[in-house]
A and B are shown apart, each in its own frame.
Chain A
Amino acid sequence: MNVALCEYGAGNVRSVEVALRRLGVTLTSDVVDADLAVLPGVGSARSALAGLRESGHDVALRARIEAGQPVLGICLGLQIALEWSDEDGGVEGLGLLPGRSERLESGRIPRIGWAEVEGRGTFYFAHSYAAATPCATAWSEGVVAEVRSGSFVGCQFHPEKSGPDGARYLAAVLEEATSRSLA
């Protein structure tokens, strides 16, 4: 299957590339027709969104969601898919699903380290913002860890940096994306 990694113009996507290649996918730059499009979790909201708007990927991503084609958002990738992010003084998101990205309120921030996601496993987190959305499907210590809306799946953790649990999670996302493509 082929997977498109959206580029923000800044930030290391190598970890995600490596993780996806290990699972046997072919990476493509075609966000429109790929079996799965991935929004990686690097950088900050304002610059990532600017990068997506400049490349036209924002339009392509909205079209994919409207057509029921799979999109995976990782960490920042989940946050910018929402309608709004409080990061960088506040910035409008892609609106692929309802909700906002808000600054964490308790504990040390950034929230960095491994934590259990109820029903999913243990994963690595590194974030200062989290989703407030009706589409949450899994939590970690009270923080939204996963969201789903139509063909969009978002995870606040980094599956590409979460060892075996992370690899399994990515494999499951790929499997689901494959099923959708065949449907």
Chain B
Amino acid sequence: MVKGIRFKELRDVGDPVDLAAAYSDAGADELVFLDITATLEARATLVELVGRVADRLAIPFTVGGGVRSVADAEELLDAGADKVAVNSAALERPALITELAERMGSQAVVVAIDAQGGRVRTRAGTTATARTAVDWAREAVECGAGEILLTSIDADGTRAGYDLELTGAVAAAVPVPVIASGGAGGAQHVAEALEVAQAALLASILHEDPARLASLRDELRALGVQVRSVEVRDAA
């Protein structure tokens, strides 16, 4: 299969709808939208935003951030998300994963795991736990997770490369696709991540310069990574 390259979008960056459409046109394989604010008021805004983004996309769209119940997830899917990501709420109550999988199918349920030093951290990385990422990933999959989105807090923002050891360990431990996240600085890093994981997520290096996506894809192709070809759309 063509390995997926996904793009994480934070709510505060410019106009997310235009950015999402631009990434989609430029060849992003999937879009991931994580709302880290997750207050009640912010949720209504997120749902509305999801609808507007979904109307502009023709690629898969995963949404997460503060999803604590099946109702939260359904609200996002109804608004137009194709998959839902759960993190802290799933660790606190793993049965949530099973409920989501039964309701919408495992292929629509992504369990996001943030890890530092191999150990899981929750609440946007603020809270330490004793669980290892590998162990929690295994349990999450047993509960029904269709994908694992693994973010290495150690690597995140460093632009020095993904945490290949941690990512490889998690990917070896589960039978579902694993998405590597955290640390991308360039095409070489993405190519390396795609050796141990099934998808690589990029965020900050693109948000600063969305046009970078096109050159990044060319560089990946030159490195021998199978990259989906997309039409170049003329500006309307």
* Interface residues of A, Cβ cutoff 8 Å to B: 10-12, 14-15, 18-19, 42-44, 76, 108-116, 122, 124-128, 141, 158, 160-164, 166-167
CB-nearest residue of chain A relative to B174?
Answer: A108
Q: Which of B55-63, B116-124, B132-140, B203-211 faces chain A?
A: B55-63
Chain A residues with CB under 8 A of B78: 12, 14
Does B77 make an interface contact (CB < 8 A)?
A: yes
Can you list 9 residue pairs at the A/B interface with Cβ under 8 Å? Answer: A11-B104, A15-B82, A108-B177, A108-B198, A110-B107, A114-B4, A115-B2, A163-B58, A167-B58
Contact B228 A114, beta carbon cutoff 8 Å: yes
* Interface residues of B, Cβ cutoff 8 Å to A: 1-4, 24, 29, 51, 54-55, 58-60, 77-83, 102-108, 146-147, 175-177, 198-199, 228-231
Chain A residues with CB under 8 A of B146: 110, 112, 126, 128
15 more contacts with CB within 8 A, not counting A110-B107, A122-B228, A126-B107, are A15-B82, A42-B105, A108-B175, A108-B176, A110-B106, A110-B147, A110-B177, A114-B1, A115-B1, A122-B2, A122-B229, A124-B60, A161-B82, A164-B58, A166-B58
A-B contact count (CB 8 A): 101
Chain B residues with CB under 8 A of A116: 2
Contact A15 B1, beta carbon cutoff 8 Å: no
Closest-CB distance, B7 to chain A (whole angstroms): 14
**Candidate in A12, A108, A127 with the most chain B CB atoms within 10 angstroms:** A12
